[in-house]
Amino acid sequence: MPQKKPYKFSVLASGSKGNCSVHDPAGDGNCFLIDSGISDKKIDAGLSGVNRSIGQVHSVLITHGHGDHLPKNKAGRYQYGKLGHRGNGPRYQPVEDGTTEIEFTGCYCKINIVPMVHDIPCDGFVIESNDGIKIVHITDTAEVPDVSLKYMEKPHAIVIEANWDELLLNRNLQEGSTPGCVLERSVDTHLSNSAMADVVEQLMWDGLEVVVLIHLSSTNNSPVLARQAAEEVLERGGFLAGKGDGQCRVIVSGQDKPTELIILRGNHGQ
Ligand SMILES: [Zn+2]
Ligand SMILES: [Zn+2]
C-alpha cells in the first residue's frame, strides 16, 4: 500500500487572549489557519517555529466572531474572503442537517462544517485529507450536538476545548475569586473538562493518534487537570500511549507557546 501523506498541524496559541492554529493536510507546506485571533507578529513567529511562513497560508477558517478568534491584522495581509464564519454572512451555507462540506482546491482535503453551541453562531470543523487522515476541531461550545458528532467518527486527531474544571471553578466561586456570572457563562458557552472527556470517550478508537486540548481558562482550569481528565478516559479505553498497546498522546496547548508540529500518519486502525 502506498504511504499516506502525513497531515501536519500545530496550535500556535490558544486561550481567551487569542486562538490560532496552522494545518498542512499533505505535509507539503500548503497550509490554512483555523482562527487568527493573535497578532501578525505572533502568527509569523508561530509559523516560523514550525518551518512554515505566511506566504504558504492560502485561507483562514474562522470558527466564530469573537475577538479572540477573529483576525487581528488590519492590513489585510491574508486572503480572507475565501472562507469565514457562518455568523458573518453567506460565505458557506449549512445544508439541511446543519452541516456543509467544502472542497479546498490545492489543499488536499475536504472540510465538514458542523454547528457548535455558543452565544453566537460558532462552527466546528471536521477535516479529512485526501489520504483519509481526519481531524476534528471543537471550540467555544457548551456541548457537541449529536448532529455534529456523527460527522466526527474515527478521527486521527481530536482538537478540543477544555475550558473549565468543575471542582476548580466551584472552589474559586466559594473563595470569591470567580464571580457567579462566570459560572453561568462557562456552563452556557464553554466545554468543561468532564464534557471534553465525554466527547473523547465517544470518539476514541484504535486510529486516534493525539488529543490536543485548547482554550483552557487561565483561572478556572489548569494544564494538569485538563490533561488528567483526557488521559483518564483514554487509559480506561486502552488507547493511552505508554499504557499497554495504546498509541494516543495528549498535548495541552497554551496561550504563549506553540505546540510542536504534530504529525499524523494514519497508519493505525481501520
Ligand atoms: Zn467565543
Ligand atoms: Zn474563544
Q: Could you read off the pLDDT of 226-263 as tens digits, one per residue? A: 999 999 999 999 999 999 889 999 999 999 999 999 99
Q: Is the model more confident about 61 or about 241? A: 241
Question: How many angstroms separate the alpha carbon of residue 2 from the centre of ligand 1?
Answer: 41
Q: Tell me the ligand closest to 217's alpha carbon.
A: 2
**Alpha-carbon span 21 to 13, nearest angstrom:** 7
Mean pLDDT of 201-217: 97
Question: How many angstroms separate the alpha carbon of residue 141 from the centre of ligand 1?
Answer: 8
- The residue type found at 15 is G
Q: Structure pTM?
A: 0.91
- The residue type found at 42 is K
Question: How many angstroms separate the alpha carbon of residue 247 from the centre of ligand 2?
Answer: 30
Q: Quick one: pLDDT band at residue 177, thresholds 50, 70, 90? A: confident
Question: How many angstroms separate the alpha carbon of residue 268 from the centre of ligand 2?
Answer: 32
Question: How many angstroms separate the alpha carbon of residue 93 from the centre of ligand 1?
Answer: 20
Q: Tell me the ligand closest to 17's alpha carbon.
A: 2
Q: Pairing between strand 134-138 and 123-129?
A: antiparallel
Question: How many angstroms separate the alpha carbon of residue 174 from the centre of ligand 2?
Answer: 25
Mean pLDDT of 131-139: 96
**Residue keyed to cell 468543575:** 166
Q: Tell me the ligand closest to 20's alpha carbon.
A: 2
For residue 74, pLDDT beyond 90:
no
Residues 6+ apart with CB under 8 A from 188: 119, 142
Report pLDDT for 88.
Answer: 39
Question: How many angstroms separate the alpha carbon of residue 187 from the centre of ligand 2?
Answer: 14
**Alpha-carbon span 57 to 52, nearest angstrom:** 9
Boundaries of every domain in the chain: 7-260
Ion ligand 2 — residues with CB < 5 Å: 68, 140
For residue 220, pLDDT beyond 90:
yes
Question: How many angstroms separate the alpha carbon of residue 216 from the centre of ligand 2?
Answer: 10
Q: Which CATH number fits domain 7-260: 2.60.120.10, 3.40.140.10, 3.60.15.10, 3.90.79.10?
A: 3.60.15.10
Question: How many angstroms separate the alpha carbon of residue 22 from the centre of ligand 1?
Answer: 19
**Alpha-carbon span 128 to 50, nearest angstrom:** 21
Question: How many angstroms separate the alpha carbon of residue 223 from the centre of ligand 2?
Answer: 17
3-state SS, residue 129 = strand
Question: How many angstroms separate the alpha carbon of residue 215 from the centre of ligand 1?
Answer: 10
